[in-house]
Amino acid sequence: MRIAQIAPLMESVPPRLYGGTERVVHDLTEALVDLGHEVTLFASGDSITRAELVACTREGLRHAARVKDPLPHYMLMLDRVRTRASAFDILHFHTDVLHFPLFNDQPHRTVTTLHGRQDLPDLAALYRGFPGMPLVAVSEHQRAPIPDANVVATVHHGLPKDLFAPTYEPRGGYLAFVGRMSPEKGPLAAIQLARELGLPLRMAARIDKSDESYFREVVRPEITYDGGIEFVGEISDRDKARFIGEAQALLFPVDRSEPFGLVMIEAMACATPLLAFHVGSVPEVIEDGITGRLVDAFEEALLALPEVIALDRRRIRARFEARFTAERMASDYLEIYRALGRAARLPAPAHLEALWPPPAVPVRPGEVHAR
C-alpha cells in the first residue's frame, strides 16, 4: 500500500528525548516499511526514517527559537499533504483534527488517530460536525466519552521488540519515575511513596514551560529536602533502557484520564514491573499481578510495592512481546487501512455504511479492540 503518515511538528520523528506521539508515529512508520509498504512521512526535517521524508519544517518546532506560533507551519504542511493526496491509498493523520475541513470530502481515504484526551466538552460538537471522518482510539477508556463519534477501532500502541533490552536481574536498588513533570502525572505521589518506603527515587522528566512554576514551587523543594530523591531531567531512548531496566519498579501514579501512557509498555519492554493507580486506560495496559499492580489509594500502594518488586520479570517481557510490539500495531492499522480502501470503492453513501460495523481488529486475551 501507499501510505502517508502525517506527524506532529513539535518534535522530530523519533523525538530526541520526550515525545510520545512522535515515538508512536516513528515506530508505526518503520514497522510498515518492514512489512513492505511504500510509506511517506510528513514531519520535521530533522526526523530520521527509512520511509520517504517530506520535511515540513527545518526542525521540531519545540526547538526552533524563532517560532512563536506553530499553527502557520501546520497549515503549510497540510497544504502539502493535500497537494500530494492522490498519490496515496491512505492518509494517516496524527495531528489532532486540523485537517478535517480539508479532507471532509474524501473521509474514506483518511484515518485519524486520537492521541489526546477526549473528555473535553467541545469535542462532541466537533465530531457531530464531521461525522464521516474515521477515527482510531488508543484505548477503550479514551473513546468512552465520545460514543457518537466515528471511532472505527481501538489500537493500542506498540514498540519495536529490540528498542529496549530487558533487564532480568536489576542492580539499581531504586524506584523510577518517567514522564512529564506535571501535576496529573503524579510526581508528588511518587516522591511520597518512595519516602514512606525508604527507597531511593530517580525521576526522569520533561518540564514544559506551562509546568515550570509547578516544578520550581512544588516539586523541587521536595527533591531538595530529601537526599534520596534524584531528578535527572529528560533522557533519550538509549539511556531509558538502562534507567528503567535497572529500577526495582516503575511508579505510574497518574491521577487523571490517561489516554494510554507509553511509559507503561516501555517498562514492560525493559521487564520492569509497574505500580500504578487504577485510573484511565491503565487497567487496559497493566495486567494486575502479572506486569504490575493496580491500586486505588496511597495506603494500598505502600502495601503493594513488595509484591510488585517480586513479580516475574521474564513473564513481564513475554507479555510485552505478546501484546505491545510495533509489528502488532502495524498489522492492526493495516486491517483498518484495507477496510477503508474497500469502503472507498463503494458508491456513496454506501461507503459510510460499509464502515459500520467497523473493521475488526484482532482481539487478544484481556483486550477489546473494535466497537
> 247-257 pLDDT, tens per residue?
999 999 997 77
Beta strands at 38-44 and 52-57: parallel, antiparallel or unpaired: parallel
E strand or H helix at 335, and its extent? Answer: helix 326-344
Same domain, 21 and 129: yes
Q: What is the pLDDT of residue 225?
A: 66
Same domain, 315 and 185: yes
The reply to whether 262 falls in a domain is yes
Same domain, 297 and 333: no
Beta strands at 175-180 and 38-44: parallel, antiparallel or unpaired: unpaired
Q: What is the pLDDT of residues 347-369, one digit of tens each?
A: 554 444 445 444 444 444 344 44
Within 110-167, strands assigned E span 110-113, 135-137, 151-154
The reply to whether 168 falls in a domain is no
Same domain, 23 and 123: yes
The reply to whether 22 falls in a domain is yes
Q: What is the pLDDT of residues 291-344, one digit of tens each?
A: 999 999 999 999 999 999 999 999 999 999 999 999 999 999 999 999 998 876
Same domain, 275 and 143: no
Same domain, 228 and 93: no
Q: Please choose, from the candidates 264, 267, 250, the residue with its C-alpha nearest in 3D space to the C-alpha of residue 317.
A: 267
**39 bridge partner residues:** 3
- Please state the length of the chain: 371
Same domain, 277 and 336: no
Question: Residue 117: is its pLDDT beyond 80?
Answer: yes
Question: What distance in Å separates the CA atoms of residue 110 and residue 93, rounded to the nearest whole number?
Answer: 7
Helices (H), 119-236: 123-129, 140-143, 187-197, 212-214, 220-225
Question: What distance in Å separates the CA atoms of residue 248 and residue 292, rounded to the nearest whole number?
Answer: 12
Same domain, 181 and 90: no
Same domain, 136 and 181: no
pLDDT tier at 146, thresholds 50, 70, 90: very high
- CATH number for the domain harbouring residue 197: 3.40.50.2000
CA distance between the termini of the chain? 25
Q: What is the pLDDT of residue 361?
A: 46
| SS3 state at 92 | strand
Q: What is the mean pLDDT of residues 281-296?
A: 97
Structural domain that includes position 315:
174-324
Structure-block grid coordinates of residue 167: 533487564
The reply to whether 336 falls in a domain is yes
The reply to whether 362 falls in a domain is no
Is the alpha carbon torsion for 181, 117, 275, 241 positive or negative?
negative
Q: Please choose, from the candidates 360, 337, 363, 362, the residue with its C-alpha nearest in 3D space to the C-alpha of residue 371.
A: 360
The reply to whether 368 falls in a domain is no
Residue bearing cell 511504500? 38
Task: Provide the domain count of the chain.
Answer: 2
The reply to whether 190 falls in a domain is yes
Q: What is the pLDDT of residue 137?
A: 97
The reply to whether 302 falls in a domain is yes
Same domain, 208 and 350: no
Contact 249, 305 (CB under 8 A): yes
